[in-house]
Amino acid sequence: MSKISKNVMVIGGGIAGIQASLDLAERGIKVDLIEKNACIGGRMAQLDKTFPTNDCSICILAPKLAECFRHPNITLHTLSEVKNLSGQQGDFKVKIFKKARYVKEDECINCGQCIEKCPMRVEDEFDMKLRKRRAIYIDYVQGVPSIMTIDRENCLFFTKNACRICEKVCEREAIDFDQEDEEIELNVGSIIVATGYDIFNPKSLNSLGYGRYPNVVTALEFERLISASGPLGGHLTRPSDKNEPKKLAFINCVGSRDIKNNPYCSSCCCMYTTKEAMIAYEHNNEIETSIFYIDLRAAGKGFREYIERGENKYAISYIKGKVAKILEDEQRNPIIVYEDINTSQVKQFKFDLVILATTMVPKKDAVTLAKILGIKTNDFNFFKANSYYPQISSKEGIFLCGACREPMDIPSSVVDASGAAAKAAEAIMRG
Amino acid sequence: MSNEDIRIGVFICHCGTNIGGVLDITELIEYTKTLPNVAYSAGNLYTCSEVGLSNIRENIKEHNLNRVIVASCSPRTHEPLFRSTCQEAGLNPYLFEMVNIRDQDSWVHMKEPQKGTEKAKDLIRMSVYKASLLEPLEKMQVSVIPSAAVIGGGIAGMNAALTLANQSFKVSLIEKDSELGGLIRHLHKTYPTNEDASNILETRNLAESHKEIDVYKSATIEKIEGYVGNYKIVILQEKKMIEIEVGAIIVATGARVLSPEGYYNYNGKTIISQLELEGLLKENSVNAKNIAMIQCVGCRNEERRYCSNICCMTALKNAILIKEQNPDANITIIFRDIQAQGVTYEEYYRRAREMGIIFIKYLPDKPPIIKEDHLEVYNEFMNQVIGIPHDLVVLSMPLIANEDSERLAKMLKVPLEENNFFLEAHVKLRPVDFATDGVFVCGSAHWPADISESISQSNAAASRASTILSKEMLEVEGSTAEVNPDLCIGCEACIKICPYSAISKDEETDTAVVNKVVCKGCGVCGASCPQNAIIIHHFTSDQIIAEIVTYGGGD
Amino acid sequence: MSYNYFLGCVIPGRLPFLEASARKTFEKIGMKVGDQANCSCCPDPTGAAQLDHESFLALGARNLCLFEKSKSNVLSLCSGCTESLKTIKYILDNDNEKKEVINSKLKAIGMSYKGNIDIKHFAEVLYENIEKIKKMVKKPLKDLKVAGHPGCHYLRPSEIMNWDDPLNPQTLDKLIEIIGADPVDYNLKNDCCGNPVEKTDKEISLIMLENKLKSMKEAGTDCIAVICPACFQQFDFNQREINKRNNTDYNFPVFYITELIALAMGMNTEKLGLNFHRIKVNDVLQKIT
Amino acid sequence: MQMVEFEFRNELIKEDFSLNYCYQCGTCSSSCPVALVTEGEYNPRKIIEQSLLGLKDLLIKDQKPNIWLCCTCQMCVEECPQNVFLTEIFERIKNRIVSEGEPYPETFKTQAISVIENGLAIPLTQPIIRRREQLELPKVESADINEIKKLLEATDFKKKIKILEVSK
């Protein structure tokens, strides 16, 4: 066997990046895992449960997060972004920009005292802005590394040269306002890109009323609303009046399969809307759900059976048809206008809560990253993958996995990630 | 260790609101403190978080704990993590016990929190009694043979072999047919690029000429024994038995196409299968002008509930190819849901519409009826029956599991799911692993997969296999069975029942012997032994009886 | 290039008072708009267009030729006319084959379409001059709740109209806002008033109208603002019809946006011909004085 | 039973290619203000499905759904996720209904006759002319009716819409 001398860099610490890193690390290869946020975990950490097993998402993810943190072959670079790349397969030089955390990583024990005292209230991106966090924070309770971060944009010390209260209450003297951003250089043999996806903002679809109607939410918002660790503590109520919703509607293909927005299919929505309806039903057996769809795409293992289960055991009705218009009544109930194709009649149906299955879209900085890495993107700004060898990018030594190349679900991302790990390993063995 | 020395620490997990929202954790903590040998008891918001884990480590030291119990979720997902946490704090990992008060308690008793809390008390108490009797165990070390066997020489198998071989691992690629290539050999062109299938088949030459790959064609597997890192496979090739030794096995046996015989008056001439159409396209002999394709033939029904994943795209591809050759052809695809996930496939579907291919959705209870020169189908979009002229009907048949998958599964001691596809260890997070260590799966053997999916999975399986092959030594489970030769009467009941073939007979002493590396500690042998001669370490009779007794099962 | 008015059929033939308010408003903001002689029906996008595409193109192209000859852009007082003329221009400018066919027909009357003038809806031009209007407001229509009905042909198809957001129109509400009134947000703002359906089925046309009125009423409105004579007719003529049939009491005064602007600029109500409205506007006039 | 007519379908597609892209999601119906109030009598999605399958009899003869109820508001066109130009496709179909001599609503014919005769859909009347004067509006200089007639002869308008004799 040839000797391995180079590290592999993995960009993105979601489930794909984590799986790729773990495979490589277990394979005996040293990995630099680059994560833009303060914690790894990505989108999967935001989910309540996962289809088709309805496993609690964070519960199956958490052991992997811990493994990533503890593995001697993995170096975690959080709050970090790739700024420059030179060299070629076997010998890449990468410049990484590391934002200061203002918290000493070795000292903070995540006791949370600083959070209690921090006077700032900031929109919490992890919770889809459904609640506020503080200016010193951790993305989520199980977040890894499990230490605090000060958000410079909102911290009173940085904005108004005041406060510093966290510094005073921290018994371990872990706060360090003198930390500075730094640039480090890594030398790696191959690179795996696993930067994931963003969510389409349905505000531009005016007829659906998102942003105007409080009881029209996106699927990821709903995921947080229903999550045990979410802003409602797992007790589902609707935004306008905190009443328990009984009639739910999901609208599939919001912003996808749509030439005017995103022509592609978002791959997972048929399944995750079913899952969310199932979880809602488990919370409250009086809940009835309608899922409006164009084609029910459930080709994965056990997926079709999952849909059948939803229909038979979870009071889900699947209604063929896309919804163009949502109205609202005086009690702020969303009213869906849809065509019942059995009668060819257009009907109006009142729901308590409407959930929009919004498309997975490329990360907003995907094009910038593609330029830095020198890889191609496709027409929609996903990273361009080989048609038959999907982990292969347009550049030698750089591999792709997960939703950064195409919308996909967790199992596909995990497969993709392991596959990319194999290719990245192969590359440094040749190189 | 005498009873006085036992110091148990109990960590009760809130799991956010998963447990804490139902059970009264404070009450549980207080209750636990009253139990014998409990030196410490506390709650954790999320025990599996880094905070929770360091909390365990610190308290082991601070309170001098020598047994640890975590009352939380399922050992299936979390036991390895907690065990290694104990180990990091200097405690033997087998002095750890886990109580599932979530999946089996707070989730089932969501509506009756008081009863749930009482049940949790019982469960924790039982665990405390067992923990007092736990013994330290050692994990075994085994060496690893740094080579792999790939079973099946289709695109998945060939690519898995290549990926491993390119990393300098020796690979035996075993194919039952006389040539490599699998189903792709029968295809005309491949989606989504519509290039000749022969392009993809070039992988064949790469695999056959790779110096690290030994290809066995016209070869069948006769026997598989051994365990992770050390498998022995007996291959039958041209009446010759060949024995190979490998550290890991990748199953890439693919699937087959369901025969169209008996569906929709199939006649092989005017009513043919999609696979037969590929053949006609290859020979450039599609003469029909009005072609109707029917999707989901023989699947998504009572008999076969699943969607076969690849048939929509295959039909789209062949329809597009015919249209490209003959723009005047009228092609109608009669479908249930068009499965064209993702970016490229949806684009491909749009392209098919752009070329003028017609799509009609049908309902399973009103399938199309084929008449002499037209077919009739109830069109859900119009609420009426529509006639479609045809001179050729093409049936899209699903991929089904190979006939010999059951035989192979038995030899590998891995499970199949209800449709006889191989069942992975965990749908979400271990999609190409088996629960059995050292065995992996990819391609259509796992589930109907197209070329790019098969390749992606084969890379993944190769990656997973390489995590084993790259190690010189592996650690294996320490909680195994042990036969007391003094009590054993050599009846072989345990040998017959062991699902892992871990027990054999020592001919000299005429007693059963457990191969500890293969043994998973499942306990079946212990339960079947008429002599009580088998000890299942970590689940000893004493330990289990202590649990039962304290629950109230007499003395 | 300056503008000439394209009046269409409905305004000169039935609702001249709408024209009066428009002319006065444009005068007030200092825009000189000429008159174009010899115009025919646009033709009606909901009428002739449905019968024969070629004649639709030819008639419209003839109108455009007249403006080309006067070297003047089209300022249309009607949404239907605007859409027709913009559509015809769009088709002829983008489809050479069709342009040649139409020009061969126009030859019979000695004309030829070139495609060198622009077409605008009057509300489009008002919006472009919104700052000027703002300065001229003397009597802001304070507390007047106005349900703007932008109508269909002012907005859609957006690929051709290329102006306001076709599904979330803003310009009319902005004009309502600038004269001091409160634009009302109502559920069915974007829906058709029902006027074109009258040709096929009056009953359905009235149901559509009633849906709109109901939605306006729920949102709490004092009056309705429109920018198309077809919509004006539907709202002003048919509220009573609905009341008669359904025993309802809809009585919303209907204004052309130029009437409201003129009022806010303090113009004489008599000269605007507000007395010719079928639904009496007195309540609103009282409210704003 | 209706048979798919490939040729008719292809003719319609030739007239407006966007028809091809429809995948029958029903967005058009959901956005249509007429479909909302007609209990299935008018349904844009269904008309498109009939067009895709070339069901000529339903579209041209039976006219079910009643295509003349389209209000041309173009909401469907704006909302359609596949950019199908429904209103335009319907216009072409209505043109066919007319040119093939199938019945269509009388009001369309009346309006057409007025345009042929007066150049205007609504001719000027004396009371209106007086009202214009009252409002100090300039005199309307109407279209040269001979020009209109000549032009419409060139396009064969009368023949196409089956008006043989225009009464005085």
Give me the CATH topology for the region C3-122.
Glutathione S-transferase Yfyf (Class Pi); Chain A, domain 2 (1.20.1050)
Q: Could you tell me if A78 and A69 are in contact, meaning their C-beta atoms sit under 8 angstroms apart?
A: no
* D128/D70 same-domain check: no
pLDDT value of position A431: 47
Q: Could you tell me if B38 and B8 are in contact, meaning their C-beta atoms sit under 8 angstroms apart?
A: yes
* A150/A187 same-domain check: no
pLDDT value of position B46: 85
B522: helix, coil or strand?
A: coil
What band does B3 get if pLDDT is binned at 50, 70 and 90? low
Q: Output the six-digit token pair for C218.
A: 């729920």
**H or E element in which residue D132 lies:** helix D126-134
Pick from A96, A185, A192: which is nearest to A427 by CA?
A192
Q: Output the six-digit token pair for A7.
A: 């590290």
pLDDT digits 0-9 by tens, A51-60 = 999 988 998 9
Q: Could you tell me if A237 and B30 are in contact, meaning their C-beta atoms sit under 8 angstroms apart?
A: no
Pick from C210, A194, A411: which is nearest to B341 by CA?
A411
Establish if C37 touches chain A: CB-CB under 8 angstroms: no
pLDDT digits 0-9 by tens, D5-43 = 999 999 999 999 999 999 999 999 999 999 999 999 999
* D51/D83 same-domain check: yes
Are B358 and D9 an interchain contact pair (Cβ–Cβ within 8 Å)? yes
Establish if A324 touches chain D: CB-CB under 8 angstroms: yes
**Cα A371 to Cα A365: distance, rounded to the nearest angstrom:** 10
Q: Output the six-digit token pair for B429.
A: 């997070």
Chain D, nearest residue to A342 by Cα: D40
Establish if D58 touches chain A: CB-CB under 8 angstroms: no
Establish if C187 touches chain A: CB-CB under 8 angstroms: yes
Q: Output the six-digit token pair for A326.
A: 């949502």
Tell me which chain D residues have a C-beta less than 8 angstroms from the C-beta of B388.
3-4
* B219/B301 same-domain check: no
**Cα B409 to Cα B137: distance, rounded to the nearest angstrom:** 31
The residue from D99, D134, D149 where one domain ends is D99
**Alpha helices, DSSP H only, in A72-179?**
113-117, 156-160, 165-169
In whole angstroms, how far apart are CA B110 and each of A283, B20, B116?
Answer: 9, 11, 8
Whether B9 is covered by a domain: the verdict is yes
Chain C, nearest residue to D147 by Cα: C109
Tell me which chain A residues have a C-beta less than 8 angstroms from the C-beta of D83.
259-260
Among A259, A261, A318, A322, the strongest candidate for a mutation testing the D interface, having the largest count of D CBs within 10 A, is A322
In whole angstroms, how far apart are CA D26 and each of A271, C187, D52, D64?
Answer: 21, 21, 14, 17
A320, A322, A345: residue with CB nearest D27 = A322
* B104/B131 same-domain check: yes
Residue B478 or A284, more confident:
A284
| Residue carrying structure tokens 């005498």 | B2
Q: What is the CA radius of gyration of chain B?
A: 29
Give percent of chain C with pLDDT exceeding 70: 100
In whole angstroms, how far apart are CA C26 and each of B467, B534, C137, C170?
Answer: 79, 102, 14, 21
Give D72→chain B minimum CA distance, Å: 23
* D38/D93 same-domain check: yes
Whether B368 is covered by a domain: the verdict is yes
* A309/A208 same-domain check: yes
What band does A111 get if pLDDT is binned at 50, 70 and 90? confident
Among D3, D6, D56, D83, the strongest candidate for a mutation testing the B interface, having the largest count of B CBs within 10 A, is D6
Are D160 and C157 an interchain contact pair (Cβ–Cβ within 8 Å)? no
Q: A4-41: buried (b, 16+ CB within 10 Å) or exposed (e) per residue?
A: bebbbbbbbbbbbbbbbbbbbbbbebbbbbbbbbbbbb
Give C167→chain A minimum CA distance, Å: 6
Pick from B416, B501, B525, B477: which is nearest to B226 by CA?
B501
A1, A144, A422: residue with CB nearest B463 = A422
Chain A, nearest residue to B193 by Cα: A387
Establish if C159 touches chain A: CB-CB under 8 angstroms: no
Residue C269: pLDDT above 90? no
Are A339 and D82 an interchain contact pair (Cβ–Cβ within 8 Å)? no
The residue from B397, B429, B464 where one domain ends is B397
* A284/A395 same-domain check: no
Give A209→chain C minimum CA distance, Å: 10
Q: Output the six-digit token pair for A217.
A: 């939410």
pLDDT value of position B553: 64
pLDDT value of position A18: 98
* A276/A307 same-domain check: yes
* A224/A242 same-domain check: yes
Are C166 and D71 an interchain contact pair (Cβ–Cβ within 8 Å)? no
Give percent of chain B with pLDDT exceeding 70: 99
* A214/A301 same-domain check: yes
* A383/A243 same-domain check: no
* D117/D90 same-domain check: no
Cis peptide bond N-terminal to C253, omega within 30:
no
What band does B1 get if pLDDT is binned at 50, 70 and 90? very low
In whole angstroms, how far apart are CA A182 and each of A101, B470, C212, D88?
Answer: 11, 35, 61, 60
Tell me which chain A residues have a C-beta less than 8 angstroms from the C-beta of B48.
59, 62-63, 66, 142
Residue B124: pLDDT above 70? yes
* B350/B289 same-domain check: yes
Put simply, whether the predicted model's pTM sits higher than 0.90 gets the answer yes
Reduced 3-state DSSP string for chain C: CCEEEECCCHHHHHCHHHHHHHHHHHHHCCCCEEECCCECCCCCCCCHHHHCHHHHHHHHHHHHHHHHHHCCEEEECCHHHHHHHHHHHHHHHHCHHHHHHHHHHHHHHCCCCCCCCCEEEHHHHHHHCHHHHHHHCCCCCCCCEEEEECCCCCCCCHHHHCCCCCCCCCHHHHHHHHCCCEECCCCCCCCCCCHHHHHCCHHHHHHHHHHHHHHHHHHCCCEEEECCHHHHHHHHHHHHHHHHHHCCCCCCCEEEHHHHHHHHCCCCHHHHCHHHCCCCCHHHHHHHC
Pick from B40, A89, D124, D91: which is nearest to C8 by CA?
D124
Neighbours of chain A (3+ CB pairs under 8 A): B, C, D
pLDDT digits 0-9 by tens, B438-461 = 999 999 999 999 999 999 999 999
Total CB pairs under 8 A between chain C and D: 191
CATH 3.40.50.11810 in chain C, residue ranges: 130-288
**Cα D5 to Cα D14: distance, rounded to the nearest angstrom:** 14
Are C166 and D72 an interchain contact pair (Cβ–Cβ within 8 Å)? no
Whether A107 is covered by a domain: the verdict is no
Q: Could you tell me if D70 and D96 are in contact, meaning their C-beta atoms sit under 8 angstroms apart?
A: no
Task: Count Cβ atoms below 10 Å from residue B281 Cβ, excluding itself.
Answer: 18
* Domains identified in chain A, total number: 3
pLDDT digits 0-9 by tens, B147-169 = 999 999 999 999 999 999 999 99
The residue from A331, A359, A387 where one domain ends is A359
The residue from A304, A331, A359 where one domain ends is A359
The single-letter DSSP state of residue B551 is H
* B54/B162 same-domain check: no
* D86/D131 same-domain check: no
Chain B, nearest residue to A268 by Cα: B341
In whole angstroms, how far apart are CA B125 and each of B37, B107, C83?
Answer: 11, 20, 80
Whether A175 is covered by a domain: the verdict is no
Which residues 371-390 on chain B approach chain D with CB closer than 8 angstroms?
A: 374, 376, 379, 381-382, 384-389
Mean pLDDT of chain B: 94
Whether A1 is covered by a domain: the verdict is no
Whether B544 is covered by a domain: the verdict is no
The residue from D52, D69, D99 where one domain ends is D99
Establish if C167 touches chain A: CB-CB under 8 angstroms: yes
pLDDT mean over B302-316: 96
* Domains identified in chain B, total number: 4
Give D145→chain A minimum CA distance, Å: 44
* B32/B99 same-domain check: yes
* B469/B487 same-domain check: no
The residue from D72, D99, D126 where one domain ends is D99
Chain D, nearest residue to B337 by Cα: D23
pLDDT value of position C288: 84
What band does A133 get if pLDDT is binned at 50, 70 and 90? very high
pLDDT digits 0-9 by tens, D124-143 = 999 999 999 999 999 999 99
Pick from A343, A340, A384: which is nearest to A362 by CA?
A384
Chain A, nearest residue to C168 by Cα: A206
Whether A174 is covered by a domain: the verdict is no
Residue B524 is part of a domain; what is its CATH number? 3.30.70.20
pLDDT value of position B476: 84
* D15/D88 same-domain check: yes
Give A46→chain B minimum CA distance, Å: 14
Treating both helix axes as pointing N-terminal to C-terminal, what angle do C53-70 and C96-106 enclose, rounded to 10 degrees?
80
Chain B, nearest residue to D45 by Cα: B381
**Cα A410 to Cα A399: distance, rounded to the nearest angstrom:** 18
B68: helix, coil or strand?
A: strand
B18, B49, B337: residue with CB nearest A146 = B49
Mean pLDDT of chain A: 95
* D16/D93 same-domain check: yes
- For C130-288, the fitting CATH number among 3.40.30.10, 1.10.1240.10, 3.40.50.11810, 3.30.420.340 is 3.40.50.11810
Establish if A335 touches chain D: CB-CB under 8 angstroms: no
Cis peptide bond N-terminal to C12, omega within 30:
no
B290, B355, B358: residue with CB nearest D53 = B358
Among C167, C185, C208, the strongest candidate for a mutation testing the A interface, having the largest count of A CBs within 10 A, is C167
A206, A327, A330: residue with CB nearest C168 = A206
Whether B550 is covered by a domain: the verdict is no
Whether D167 is covered by a domain: the verdict is no
A383: helix, coil or strand?
A: strand
What band does A204 get if pLDDT is binned at 50, 70 and 90? very high
* A373/A347 same-domain check: no
pLDDT digits 0-9 by tens, A36-51 = 999 999 999 999 999 9
Whether B220 is covered by a domain: the verdict is yes
**Residue range(s) defining the domain that contains residue B516:** 477-537
Whether D166 is covered by a domain: the verdict is no
**Cα D164 to Cα A268: distance, rounded to the nearest angstrom:** 60
- What does DSSP say about strands C145-149 and C223-226: parallel, antiparallel, or unpaired? parallel
**Touch between B and C (at least 3 CB pairs under 8 Å):** no
Are C167 and A207 an interchain contact pair (Cβ–Cβ within 8 Å)? yes
Tell me which chain C residues have a C-beta less than 8 angstroms from the C-beta of D95.
50-53
CA atoms in the 13 A half-sphere facing the CB of C70? 21
* A368/A353 same-domain check: no
* B468/B485 same-domain check: no
Residue D75 is part of a domain; what is its CATH number? 1.10.1060.10
Pick from B331, B309, B543, B334: which is nearest to B447 by CA?
B309
A329: helix, coil or strand?
A: coil
Tell me which chain A residues have a C-beta less than 8 angstroms from the C-beta of B163.
422-423, 426
Total CB pairs under 8 A between chain A and C: 9
Whether D73 is covered by a domain: the verdict is yes
**Residue range(s) defining the domain that contains residue A131:** 113-169
Which residues 110-139 on chain B approach chain A with CB closer than 8 angstroms?
A: none
Q: Could you tell me if B257 and B397 are in contact, meaning their C-beta atoms sit under 8 angstroms apart?
A: yes
Residue B554: pLDDT above 90? no
pLDDT digits 0-9 by tens, B313-371 = 999 999 999 999 999 999 999 999 999 999 999 999 999 999 999 999 999 999 999 99
Give B388→chain D minimum CA distance, Å: 5
* Type of residue found at D48: I
pLDDT mean over B25-32: 96
Rounded to 5 degrees, what are φ and ψ at B148? Answer: -130, 155
Residue B38 is part of a domain; what is its CATH number? 3.40.50
Pick from B142, B186, B179: which is nearest to B158 by CA?
B179
Tell me which chain D residues have a C-beta less than 8 angstroms from the C-beta of B360.
53
Chain A, nearest residue to B305 by Cα: A305
Residue C153: pLDDT above 70? yes
pLDDT digits 0-9 by tens, A408-431 = 999 999 999 999 999 999 999 864
**Cα B114 to Cα B104: distance, rounded to the nearest angstrom:** 15
Instruction: Give this complex's ipTM.
Output: 0.96
| Residue carrying structure tokens 């990360």 | A363
* A146/A225 same-domain check: no
Tell me which chain C residues have a C-beta less than 8 angstroms from the C-beta of D137.
16, 19-20, 23
Give A125→chain D minimum CA distance, Å: 30
Q: Output the six-digit token pair for B364.
A: 């399973």
Whether A104 is covered by a domain: the verdict is no
pLDDT digits 0-9 by tens, A209-245 = 999 999 999 999 999 999 988 899 889 999 999 999 9
Which residues 261-300 on chain B approach chain A with CB closer than 8 angstroms?
A: 300
- What does DSSP say about strands A316-320 and A325-328: parallel, antiparallel, or unpaired? unpaired
pLDDT digits 0-9 by tens, B47-78 = 988 888 999 999 999 999 999 999 998 887 78
* B129/B244 same-domain check: no
pLDDT digits 0-9 by tens, C241-263 = 999 999 999 999 999 999 999 99
Treating both helix axes as pointing N-terminal to C-terminal, what angle do D6-15 and D44-52 enclose, rounded to 10 degrees?
120
Whether A410 is covered by a domain: the verdict is yes
Residue count (chain B): 555
**Residue range(s) defining the domain that contains residue D115:** 106-160
Chain D, nearest residue to B347 by Cα: D21
* A227/A296 same-domain check: yes
Whether D1 is covered by a domain: the verdict is no
* B485/B467 same-domain check: no
pLDDT mean over A267-295: 97
* B25/B54 same-domain check: yes
Which residues 472-511 on chain B approach chain D with CB closer than 8 angstroms?
A: none
